[in-house]
């Protein structure tokens, strides 16, 4: 859910961060729009198209995690109009009074939003946010190392002999603990200590069998440096294009579904342009541009028609029917739950 | 006249003093204040006094039965950071001393060239250098593929993500910080004393132990401090080369300010790290003061 820069590889991210602020549009543009989004996540073609269509000068700034975005926006004086938080962070932004009720649900292109992404728990009825991209957190497995069933969290929670010492776990606390909770039979965000004790014991027993806890799997699995990993679907898709032996597994015990959404900030200076942008990205052709770049699905009906050919049938992107039910959104956990998770996480990485 | 001069000196020092106060003490003060507040719900702090942040640095309420025990996880992480830093200091000294000695005993014009070579790594960003090491030691990297091509090994050796790879990376990164102060000391060493010791039938070992090392001790101490302190707070090297399975102090602090969202604990941990650094510095200052008394 966070460190999206790192989903695409630390080095790639670092290079993208060097070219952090890219501006499009003409000098004589009528207005401005300042977008604050994850690194290596926004298609420059999309920005250029928006800039031309509305004669707006667009400035794009990167962040690397939800917490970074939240802290900076909360501090004020940032000058951003748009932010793209993950699902479990949207309610925090709303509660802290940082988002404008821009009513995407009343916008012209809202009709294109896939009904399953309208009444979402983090923003019921879409009063604040428009869908950007959604994906899943599962496991990526190199079949040359392990040919068994990849559709289980046991790949990293109880690694088969072939994968001992070859498994990576991305150090993404919420995703990893979420999958581990579902693996032992609990619900994400649970405060049930019996469940959490099992989660801790499972993780602690599995850790000696891991190779590393690191980001940058797009490169490392493409290079055969890592044979299996907790990973995001879009990243795994990119790995498979480089290294056809890698498959994506949807843990049948439960895997994480996430979505990042576009919101307008309450202290935005260019509210009208920001609203135009929300409407703009709900157009199927434009939504397809978003997906073509970062390789995640977007939640806009009709965008498939404009998507790159290789994405239309990719099993990483189109969730196979048999695995659909096991996917779960991570809600915003209570402070008590989060404290427990941080304690488990610290113990795990001591 | 004398007084006016003193006043003028103070006035001239004002910008520096303001900078020191605002840029050094200010942030530190914020960290101290934050460490005794309560964590906010989603980030930041709530303005309510609480000792919980400090309590949690050293003690742990068991997450399952609320019993209080020593924070084993934090202590393990502190110990790992401290021992890794000590080992880094030891190995940079082991490699740095002969290097500095070699440079100091070259003819004057050559010395500049050698010193220049020592500083070359500083031209490249630390992150890039660390990634370069990774490229050398990874499973399909230069080291493994060379060994395999030579037929010395059949399968790649796991070098990346081991404790040894972190140590090697840290030694590589901090070596110049050891060589430069050592060189400064060796440069001032009067080699006639070394000759005199030989004339008096001292063995090579005796010359090193009883003449050279005592004379360059300030350089050894300065180099060790310069290496030890940044090693304690090292973040990039352990994270990239260590594979992140085992945290260092800096990673633990990042976790508390990031996903853990417990700023008071993060602030208390930062100040704990600062305390370690202070201890090292006090050791340094006392050592130097002793040196001056004796010499």
pLDDT tens for A93-104 read: 999 999 999 999
pLDDT value of position A1: 41
Q: Of A177 and B280, which is predicted with more confidence? A: A177
Q: Which of A89-93, A171-175, A271-275, B241-245 has the lowest mean pLDDT?
A: B241-245
Q: Do A202 and A325 belong together in one domain?
A: yes
Q: Which residues of B222-236 are buried (b: 16+ CB within 10 A; e: fewer)?
A: bbbbbbbbbbbbbeb
Q: Do A339 and B262 touch (CB under 8 A)?
A: yes
* A329 and A215 together in one domain: yes
By the 8 A CB rule, do A89 and A257 touch?
A: no
Same domain, A227 and A337: yes
Which strand (E) or helix (H) includes residue A344?
helix A335-348
ipTM of this model?
0.73
A61 and A209 part of one domain: no
Shortest Cα distance, chain B CAs vs residue A109, angstroms: 33
In this prediction, residues A169-173 reach a mean pLDDT of: 90
A222 vs B contacts (CB less than 8 Å): none
For A49-60, what is the mean pLDDT?
Answer: 94
A216 and A327 fall within a common domain? yes
pLDDT, position B22: 86
Mean pLDDT of A213-233: 91
Q: Is the pLDDT of residue B6 over 50?
A: yes
* Pair A46, A162 in one domain: no
Size of interface A-B (CB pairs under 8 A): 95
Strand pairing category for A123-124 and A119-120: antiparallel
CB contact burial A219-243 (16+ within 10 A = b; e otherwise):
bbbbebbbbbbbbbbbbbbbbbeee
* Chain A CB contacts of B160 below 8 Å: 225
Q: What percent of chain A has pLDDT over 90?
A: 72
Q: Work out the pLDDT band at B292, boundaries 50, 70, 90.
A: low
Q: Are residues A122 and A265 in the same domain?
A: yes
- In degrees rounded to 5, what are phi and psi of residue A265? -80, 145
Chain A residues near any Cβ of chain B (below 8 Å): 2, 10-11, 14, 65, 67, 70-71, 74, 92, 95-96, 165, 168, 171, 173-174, 193, 196-197, 200, 207, 210-214, 223-225, 335, 338-340, 342-347, 349-350
- Please check whether residue A65 is in contact with residue A2, taking contact to mean a CB–CB distance below 8 angstroms: yes
Locate tokens 């000058």: which residue? A79
Whether the CB-CB separation of A251 and A153 falls below 8 Å is answered with yes
Specify whether A186 is located in the same domain as A276: no
Residue B57: predicted pLDDT: 86
> Using the beta-carbon criterion (under 8 Å), do A225 and B140 form an inter-chain contact?
yes
Instruction: Mark yes or no for CB contact A350/B243 under 8 Å.
Output: no
Residue A191 Cα distances to A147, A333, A337, B180, angstroms: 36, 9, 5, 54
How far is Cα B32 from Cα B28, in angstroms, rounded to an integer?
6
- The tally of domains found in chain A comes to 2
Mean pLDDT for A63-76 is 87
CATH of the domain at A143: 3.40.190.10
Contacts 24+ apart (CB under 8 A), B251-257: B251/A349, B252/A346, B252/B74, B252/B77, B255/A173, B255/A342, B255/A345, B255/A346, B256/A342, B257/A67
Q: Which residue, A78, A46, A44, is CA-closest to A63?
A: A78
Interstrand relation of A327-329 and A255-264 (parallel, antiparallel or unpaired): parallel
Q: What are phi and psi of B152, to 5 degrees?
A: -75, -30
Q: Looking at the structure, do residues A130 and A150 belong to the same domain, yes or no?
A: no
When pLDDT is cut at 50, 70 and 90, the band that residue B240 belongs to is confident
Q: Are residues A245 and A277 in the same domain?
A: no
Domain that holds residue A30: 4-134+258-312
| Residues A292 and A304 reside in one and the same domain | yes
- CA angle, A118 then A120 then A124, to 5°: 85
Q: What confidence score (pLDDT) does residue A6 get?
A: 42
* Pair A275, A102: CB distance under 8 Å: yes
| Residue A10, both tokens | 């630390």
- Which of A34-43, A65-74, A283-292, B283-292 shows the lowest mean pLDDT across its residues? B283-292
List the one residue out of A233, A246, A252, A231 whose CA is nearest residue A152. A252
Any idea which of A100-109, A194-203, B151-160, B268-277 has the lowest mean pLDDT? B151-160
Tokens of B24: 């050094």
A125 shares a domain with A14: yes
Looking at beta carbons, which residues of chain A come within 8 Å of B72? 350
Contacts 24+ apart (CB under 8 A), B157-161: B158/A165, B158/A211, B160/A225, B160/B134, B160/B241, B160/B243, B161/A211, B161/A212, B161/A214, B161/B241, B161/B242, B161/B243, B161/B245
Across the interface, of A11, A213, A344, the residue whose CB is closest to B63 is A344
Say how far residue B153 (Cα) sits from the centre of its chain: 35
Average pLDDT over residues B212-232: 92
Strand partners, A255: A327
Reference A43, options A315, A280, A301; nearest CA is A280
């Amino acid at each position: 859910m966070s460190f999206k820069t790192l989903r695409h590889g630390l080095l790639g991210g670092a290079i993208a961060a060097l070219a952090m602020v890219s501006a499009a549009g003409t000098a004589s543009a009528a207005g401005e729009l300042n977008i604050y989004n994850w690194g290596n996540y926004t298609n420059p073609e999309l920005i250029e198209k928006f800039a031309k269509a509305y004669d707006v000068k667009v400035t794009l700034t990167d962040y690397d995690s939800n917490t970074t975005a939240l802290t900076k926006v909360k501090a004020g004086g940032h000058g951003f109009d748009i932010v793209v938080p993950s699902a479990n962070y949207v309610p925090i932004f709303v509660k802290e009074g940082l988002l404008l009720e821009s009513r995407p649900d009343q916008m012209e292109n809202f009709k294109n939003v896939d009904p399953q992404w309208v009444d979402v728990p983090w923003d019921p009825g879409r009063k604040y946010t428009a869908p950007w991209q959604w994906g899943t957190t599962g496991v990526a497995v190199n079949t040359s190392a392990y040919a068994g069933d990849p559709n289980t969290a046991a790949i990293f929670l109880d690694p088969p002999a072939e994968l001992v010492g070859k498994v990576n776990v991305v150090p993404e606390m919420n995703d990893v603990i979420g999958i581990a909770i579902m693996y032992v039979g609990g619900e994400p965000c649970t405060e049930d200590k019996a469940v959490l004790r099992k989660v801790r014991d499972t993780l602690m027993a599995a850790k000696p069998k891991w190779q590393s806890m690191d980001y940058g799997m797009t490169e490392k699995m493409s290079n055969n440096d890592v044979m299996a990993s907790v990973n995001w679907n879009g990243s795994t898709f990119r790995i498979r294009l480089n290294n056809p032996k890698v498959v994506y597994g949807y843990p049948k015990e439960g895997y994480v579904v996430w979505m990042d959404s576009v919101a307008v900030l309450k202290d935005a200076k260019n509210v009208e342009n920001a609203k135009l942008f929300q409407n703009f990205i709900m157009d199927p052709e434009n939504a397809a541009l978003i997906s073509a770049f970062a390789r995640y699905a977007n939640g806009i009906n009709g965008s498939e028609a404009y998507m790159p050919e290789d994405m239309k049938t990719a099993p990483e992107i189109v969730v196979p029917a048999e695995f659909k039910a096991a996917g779960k959104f991570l809600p915003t956990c209570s402070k008590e739950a989060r404290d427990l998770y941080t304690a488990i996480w610290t113990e795990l990485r001591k | 006249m004398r007084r006016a001069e003193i006043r003028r000196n103070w006035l001239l020092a004002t910008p520096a003093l303001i900078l020191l106060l605002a840029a050094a003490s200010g942030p530190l003060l914020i960290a101290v204040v934050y460490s005794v507040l309560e964590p906010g719900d989603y980030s930041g702090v709530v303005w309510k006094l609480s000792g919980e942040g400090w309590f949690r640095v050293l003690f742990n309420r068991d997450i399952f039965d609320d019993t209080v025990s020593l924070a084993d996880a934090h202590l393990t992480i502190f110990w790992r950071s401290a021992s890794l830093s000590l080992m880094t200091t030891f190995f940079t000294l082991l490699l740095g001393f002969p290097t500095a000695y070699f440079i100091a005993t070259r003819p004057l014009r050559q010395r500049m060239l050698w010193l220049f070579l020592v500083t070359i790594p500083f031209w490249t960003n630390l992150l890039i250098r660390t990634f370069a090491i990774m490229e050398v030691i990874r499973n399909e990297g230069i080291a493994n593929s060379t060994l395999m091509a030579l037929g010395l090994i059949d399968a790649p050796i796991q070098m990346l993500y081991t404790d040894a790879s972190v140590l090697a990376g840290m030694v590589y990164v901090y070596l110049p910080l050891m060589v430069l102060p050592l060189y400064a000391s060796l440069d001032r060493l009067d080699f006639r004393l070394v000759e005199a010791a030989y004339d008096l039938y001292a063995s090579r070992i005796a010359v090193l132990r009883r003449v050279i090392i005592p004379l360059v001790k300030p350089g050894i101490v300065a180099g060790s401090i310069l290496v030890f302190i940044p090693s304690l707070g090292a973040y990039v090297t352990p994270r990239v080369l260590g594979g992140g399975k085992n945290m260092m102090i800096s990673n633990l602090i990042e976790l508390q300010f990031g996903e853990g969202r417990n700023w008071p604990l993060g602030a208390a941990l930062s100040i704990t790290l600062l305390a370690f650094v202070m201890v090292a510095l006090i050791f340094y200052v006392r050592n130097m003061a002793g040196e001056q008394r004796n010499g």
